[in-house]
Amino acid sequence: MSDSDSNSIVELVDVTKKYRQGAVDVHALRGLSLEVGEGEFTAICGPSGSGKTTALNLIGALDEPTSGSVRLEGRELSRLNRRELARLRRDRIGFVFQAYNLMPVLTAYENAETVLALQGADPATRRRQVMELLAAVGLEGMEDRRPDQLSGGQQQRVAIARAIAANPAVVLADEPTANVDSETAEMLLGIMERLNRERGVTFLFSTHDPRVMEHARRLVRLVDGKVESDERRE
């Protein structure tokens, strides 16, 4: 299959990933194949060690597979050089991490505009888009607060705004509800669902949180680095 043949946003074909731990090879993924289309709200779930975070790292071009193919919007990631991969991560992939990963010295506004600034968007465009996004995630009036002046849930909302600011092809959310309470988790999931339905943002989660699994419209279960089940629901 050539790069232009795939209509999926994300495509993994027979992907394996091995890590060396001492004298032992650890198989994180064992022939994983998966496609994710535009507008999906999909959770990859499974027990610890099942390979879900490894899969997200490969899709996000943060790691390389031992074998197999990883494509984003039809582009084979192994064919891209380091500069092209960096540009791909900046422009086409949004990241939401378990630990928020906000810059502590920047305000909520400045954190949310990071990608747009790196892309060279003009200040007026950045301000319009970022203020609209902060309002969309319920942070209107908090744009001047630094992370240490925000709750964990509010920090994660800044991270969500940052992730979608540049209209990426897909948002990769690695355990995004792990560090917040149940009420905040439901609020965050509601925000992401609304962004998915109203703006068409594609979300791909890795999670072991039953709350995320309940909200997902597609649930891919991994066991020992392979797909055990793939359930679609509306």
What pTM was estimated for this model as a whole?
0.90
Q: What's the rounded Cα separation, in Å, for the pair 50 and 214?
A: 19
Q: Distance from CA of residue 13 to its chain's centroid?
A: 19
Boundaries of every domain in the chain: 38-67+79-232
Residue 56: what pLDDT?
A: 95
Q: For position 65, what pLDDT does the model report?
A: 96
pLDDT at 48: 86
Residue ranges in the chain whose pLDDT is less than 70? 1-6
pLDDT for position 178: 87
Q: 117-169, pLDDT tens digit by residue?
A: 999 999 999 999 999 999 999 999 999 999 999 999 999 999 999 999 988 99
pLDDT at site 53? 92
Strands 41-45 vs 203-207: parallel, antiparallel or unpaired: parallel
CATH number of 38-67+79-232: 3.40.50.300
CA-CA distance, 171 to 201, in Å (whole number)? 7
pLDDT score for 67? 96
